[in-house]
């Protein structure tokens, strides 16, 4: 048994197959992948890693299994899946994942090949565990896969608390101990037991508050967009392929970007925090529907058109169109008066948070500081945005005002 001191859960005891998996190269790579990617450009202490988070998910999964009375090989499979659930993450976590998906057709939880081969596969087979069964749990399949990846998964319980702890914001604080204790299965479905509507709401509210303050903060989004653009240029101008890049760690990617002529400027800007600025920051209601559903190539066409008219390099303009807001946790199930009910049909809070999410949504157009004004004017016209007045690069409000020193 290994006992590991953790900043969130205090001491974590790691046994069995999980202990054997700890020192595999796939797990150790997670020490070099930041949990929050470019969020550290906003919150300097947000340097925690996927390795720490994976230990936390393992810890909470173990507690949940004990509470649910799951033991033996079934429990070992879940513990292995909990520890390994992030081994498929590319460098900088989610920041370049969708870009790499366009080339590989795989997201971070598509880990069948990774778990089947090498040291990880050998360890799993040595403990009489089928790698494909563990991979299915990572993907959220089956009865116990809901614990690893689902609306009430222990992954979410750990990252909310951990991200709040390392950024210093209070919004992700949840009673994960109660959440774990109140989990139960009803007809094969993972739900919260009777009397826990507010418990489910706390998870929902924590995620809704962390989203604008941490996960989609404008500086983090700009850094993410620049990193994504640099990685895209790396793939199109060198012999590096997406399958190789997705197995790198953060340093591998940043150093390669710095040493490649076509991407060196982006790497230097990210390293020195000389980021692009907001030329446009448009609300959801101001954006044409056709732009919300535009594919990658159409977005790139818009960027080239704006850059050309502004007399800039095509990569000096970045159009950032996030998906429309959704609250995945709203479909979690809670037992109310003896029957299973979806949270969004039981709690009036869900509707309010959906409205808040739509109000917080922003389309961004980013450019070097010296070109912000002209890029903003051109972008508003080119994209057909219903934005009154001058470019909104100077607009600051709400949380931005309190974090002005961060950019």
Residue 45 lies in a domain: yes
- pLDDT at residue 153, as a whole number: 95
Residue 165 CB neighbour total at 10 angstroms: 17
Same domain, 157 and 9: yes
Residue 29 lies in a domain: yes
Residue with tokens 């608390």: 161
Residue 343 lies in a domain: no
Same domain, 14 and 158: yes
Q: Domain boundary at 168, 187, 210, which? A: 168
Q: Domain boundary at 145, 168, 191, which? A: 168
- pLDDT at residue 389, as a whole number: 45
Q: Domain boundary at 168, 193, 227, which? A: 168
- pLDDT at residue 172, as a whole number: 85
pLDDT in tens, 157-182: 999 999 999 999 999 889 999 999 99
Q: What average pLDDT does range 304-331 have in this prediction?
A: 92
| pLDDT at position 392 over 80 | no
Residue 28 lies in a domain: yes
Residue 173 lies in a domain: no
Note down the domain range covering 84. Answer: 2-168
The DSSP result for 293-359, as a single string, is T--HHHHHHHHHHHHHHTT--GGG-EEE-PPPP--GGGG-EEEETTEEEEGGGT-THHHHHHHHHHH
- pLDDT at residue 173, as a whole number: 85
| pLDDT at position 258 over 50 | yes
- The pTM of this model reads 0.93
Domain CATH for 30: 1.10.3210.10
pLDDT in tens, 53-78: 999 999 999 999 999 999 999 999 99
Residue 181 lies in a domain: no
Residue 288 lies in a domain: yes
Same domain, 407 and 282: yes
| pLDDT at position 261 over 80 | yes
The percentage of the chain sitting over the pLDDT mark of 90, rounded to a whole number, equals 89
Residue 255 lies in a domain: no
Q: What's the number of domains the chain is made of?
A: 2
């Amino acid at each position: 048994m290994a006992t590991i001191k953790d900043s969130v859960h205090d001491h974590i005891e790691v046994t069995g197959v999980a202990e054997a998996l700890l020192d595999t190269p796939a797990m150790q790579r997670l020490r070099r992948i930041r949990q929050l990617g470019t969020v550290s450009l906003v919150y300097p202490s947000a340097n925690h890693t996927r390795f720490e988070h994976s230990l936390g998910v393992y810890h909470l999964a173990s507690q949940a299994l004990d509470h649910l009375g799951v033991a033996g090989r079934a429990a070992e499979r879940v513990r292995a899946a909990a520890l390994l659930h992030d081994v498929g993450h590319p460098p900088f976590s989610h920041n370049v994942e969708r870009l790499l998906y366009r080339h590989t057709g795989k997201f971070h939880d598509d880990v069948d090949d990774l778990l089947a081969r090498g040291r990880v596969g050998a360890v799993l087979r040595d403990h009489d565990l089928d790698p494909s069964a563990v991979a299915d749990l990572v993907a959220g399949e089956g009865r116990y896969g809901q614990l690893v990846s689902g609306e009430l998964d222990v992954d979410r319980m750990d990252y909310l608390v951990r991200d709040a702890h390392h950024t210093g914001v209070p919004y992700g604080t949840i009673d994960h101990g109660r959440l774990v204790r109140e989990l139960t299965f009803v007809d094969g479905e993972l739900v919260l037991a009777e009397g826990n509507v507010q418990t489910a709401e706390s998870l929902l509210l924590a995620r809704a508050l962390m989203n604008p303050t941490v996960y989609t903060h404008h500086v983090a989004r700009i850094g993410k967009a620049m990193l994504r653009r640099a990685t895209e240029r790396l793939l199109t101008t060198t012999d590096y392929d997406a399958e190789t890049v997705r197995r790198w760690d953060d340093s591998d990617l940043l150093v390669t970007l710095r040493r490649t002529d076509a991407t060196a400027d982006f790497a230097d800007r990210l390293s020195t925090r000389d980021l692009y600025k907001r030329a446009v920051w448009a609300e959801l209601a101001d954006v044409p529907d056709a732009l919300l559903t535009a594919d990658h190539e159409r977005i790139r066409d818009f960027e080239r058109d704006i850059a050309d008219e502004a007399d800039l390099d095509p990569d000096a303009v970045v159009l950032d169109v996030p998906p429309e807001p959704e609250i995945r946790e709203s479909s979690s199930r809670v037992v109310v008066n003896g029957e299973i009910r979806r949270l969004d049909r039981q709690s009036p809070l869900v509707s309010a948070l959906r409205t808040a999410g739509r109000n917080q949504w922003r389309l961004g157009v980013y450019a070097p500081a010296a070109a912000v004004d002209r890029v903003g004017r051109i972008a508003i016209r080119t994209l057909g945005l219903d934005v009154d007045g001058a470019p909104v690069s100077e607009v600051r409000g709400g949380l931005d005002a309190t974090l002005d020193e961060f950019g």
